Structure 1
Amino acid sequence: MTKTAFLAGLAALTLIAFPGSGDAQSRGGSADAPISFGANSGEYAGDTVTLRGAAELTQGQNRFRADQISGLNTRGGDSRIEARGNVYFVTPTQTIKGDNAVYTTANDQIVVTGDVILTQGQNVLTGSRLTYNVRTESARIEGGSGQGGRIRGVFYPQSNGN
């Protein structure tokens, strides 16, 4: 594989990592920001780019990191990114942590599985599977066998200054 082919594949992965026109991106001021990446190693094979070892994609204030991140471009222009091990998706207002994640650009959804933790400020929600829409910032969480099939959460009411 040539250096040019590797860099082209890496560019394709970074371009698919974050939605370019979604409302969530615009609110975070990230839609027009450059996309940067880092990892201990990377490879490009066919239509797939893989970053290994402290892999990270950053655009503006949004960050997606994991032990390994792989991206695949489909013929229809949609893409699929898979992250494995110590997954974090961080926006200016929320942090999602899990064991594995799959981000699909066709529907702007990230499905995070394993020991899932969603935090927003002091609020915390845990479960085994989280489906999060990056554009609408909506989330659905499910419990699993590790927590007796239940989800758990702690929410702090907003103070009105009284």
Structure 2
Amino acid sequence: MIKTRLLTAAAIGLGLIALPTVGDAQSFQGNQPITWGADRVEYQGSTLNLIGRAELIQGTSRLRADRISGLDQSGNSRVEASGSVYLVTPEQTIRGDRAVYTTSNDTIVLTGDVILTQGENVITGARLVYNTRTESAQMEGGGGGRVQGVFHPQSTGN
């Protein structure tokens, strides 16, 4: 069974990629500012695309990818991060090839050799789907592969 706390915290962190699409982009993590950077920026209409070492930072959460597309203050419902996607929070690190956040259904999908770590605990699979509203999560193996994990019980000091 997948540890809900691990997936919940990871997916909340992934919510960072959706922040600029929400009406009040400062609402996540207590109105903290969102900092972004990239080697190149494209602005088309009201959409900002970060290309090359793309990065979003808010508080202690950081999203890095080769490209982050669809950042939009006007209510865009889809933000994509692609190429060497890394999400780092104080408790988790998530790696994958692509992440997509859809605001209309509060769903984050991370695909491509997904590795989710929290401390010494690790879950690997091909696809992670997480609903931020219901806090439900599912990791899939994909392509005949299996979901695998290693969990280390916390020591009680006895």
TM-score by length of 1: 0.74
Other-structure match for 1:117: 115
One-letter amino acid matched to 2:63 = F
Indicate how the Cα distance of structure 1 residues 138 and 31 shifts in structure 2: closer, same or farther if over 3 A, else same: farther
Equivalent residues of 1:110, 1:133 under 8 A apart = yes
One-letter amino acid matched to 1:86 = S
- Which has the higher relative contact order, 1 or 2, with Cα contacts under 8 A spaced 6 or more apart? 2
Distance 2:101 2:37 in 1: 18
Q: Structure 1 segments of 4 or more deviating over 3 A?
A: 17-21, 72-75, 133-138
Distance 1:37 1:49 in 2: 11
Structure 1 unaligned regions, length at least 5: 1-12
Aligned length: 140
Distance 2:133 2:88 in 1: 14
Root-mean-square deviation (CA, aligned residues, Å) is: 2.6
Indicate how the Cα distance of structure 1 residues 112 and 71 shifts in structure 2: closer, same or farther if over 3 A, else same: same
The worse-fitting range, judged by mean Cα deviation, of 44-53 and 59-68 is 44-53
Per-residue CA shift, 1:64-89, capped at 9, x if unaligned?
110000015497x3531111100012
Indicate how the Cα distance of structure 1 residues 74 and 42 shifts in structure 2: closer, same or farther if over 3 A, else same: closer
Other-structure match for 1:159: 155
Distance 1:67 1:95 in 2: 17
One-letter amino acid matched to 2:39 = N
One-letter amino acid matched to 1:34 = P
Distance 1:50 1:111 in 2: 19
Equivalent residues of 1:81, 1:102 under 8 A apart = yes
Equivalent residues of 1:14, 1:57 under 8 A apart = no
TM-score by length of 2: 0.76
Greater Cα radius of gyration, structure 1 or 2: 1
Matched ranges for 1:33-112 at <5 A: 33-71=32-70, 73=72, 77-112=75-110
One-letter amino acid matched to 1:150 = R
Equivalent residues of 2:54, 2:66 under 8 A apart = yes
